[in-house]
C-alpha cells in the first residue's frame, strides 16, 4: 500500500481547526485499522493541527502510508520554535489567554505527540517547523 495526502492549514483558522484531523480519522477508519491505534494517530494529528493554527503562519499536514509505516508530517512556514527542548517540556506554552480560553495552550501538545507516536522527530528554524511522527501498523 502506498498512499498519501496533504491538507492545508491556516493561521488562526479556528473555524476549521480540527477538520484536517477529522479527515485523517475518517480515512484511517476506512482502512479498517484498529480504533485504539487510530486514536494514537489522530490525537497526535489534532495537536499538530492546533499548533499550526495557533503558533505558526500556516502550513500543512501530510499523511503517508509506506509499507507498514504510517507517517504524519506537520510542516509550517515559521516563525519556528526558539528553544525546542523547552517546547517539549510538559506545561510549557507561549499560547495567549484567548487560546487558553478555547481549551488549548496547556503545553501538552508536543509531549502528547511524542508519547503517542513510535518515532518523533522535530526540526525548527525561523523559516518553519517540521514535526515528523511515525507508527508501525499494528
Ligand X SMILES: Nc1ncnc2c1ncn2[C@@H]1O[C@H](COP(=O)(O)OP(=O)(O)O)[C@@H](O)[C@H]1O
Least distance (Å) from other proteins to the CB of residue 50? 8
Residue keyed to cell 485504539 = 36
Report phi then psi at 33, rounded to 5.
Answer: -75, 160
Find the part of the chain contacting ligand X (CB under 6 A) among 18-26, 35-43, 46-54, 65-73: 46-54
User: Under rule CB under 8 A, which residues in 9-68 are in contact with other proteins?
Assistant: 14, 17-18, 21-22, 25, 35, 39, 42-43, 45-47, 50
Strands of the sheet containing 69-76, edge to edge, are: 2-9, 59-66, 69-76, 128-136, 119-125
Q: Are strands 69-76 and 119-125 parallel, antiparallel or unpaired?
A: unpaired
Among candidate residues 56, 41, 64, 55, the one with its CA nearest the CA of residue 117 = 41
Q: Nearest approach, Cβ of 112 to Mg ion (angstroms)?
A: 8
Residues 53-92 binding Mg ion (CB under 5 A) are none
Q: Does 111 bind Mg ion (CB under 5 A)?
A: no
Query: What residues make contact with Mg ion under the rule CB under 5 A?
Result: 51, 109
Amino acid at each position: 500500500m502506498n498512499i498519501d495526502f496533504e491538507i492545508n492549514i491556516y493561521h488562526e483558522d479556528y473555524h476549521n481547526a480540527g477538520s484536517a484531523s477529522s479527515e485523517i480519522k475518517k480515512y484511517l477508519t476506512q482502512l479498517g485499522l484498529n480504533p485504539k491505534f487510530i486514536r494514537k494517530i489522530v490525537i497526535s494529528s489534532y495537536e499538530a493541527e492546533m499548533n499550526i493554527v495557533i503558533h505558526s503562519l500556516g502550513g500543512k499536514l501530510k499523511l503517508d502510508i509506506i509499507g507498514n509505516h504510517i507517517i504524519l508530517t506537520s510542516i509550517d512556514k515559521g516563525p519556528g520554535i526558539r528553544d525546542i527542548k523547552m517546547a517539549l517540556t510538559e506545561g510549557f506554552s507561549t499560547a495567549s489567554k484567548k487560546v487558553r480560553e478555547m481549551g488549548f495552550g496547556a503545553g501538552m501538545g508536543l509531549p502528547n505527540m511524542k508519547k503517542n507516536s513510535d518515532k518523533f522527530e522535530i526540526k525548527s528554524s525561523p523559516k518553519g517547523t517540521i514535526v515528523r511522527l511515525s507508527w508501525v501498523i499494528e
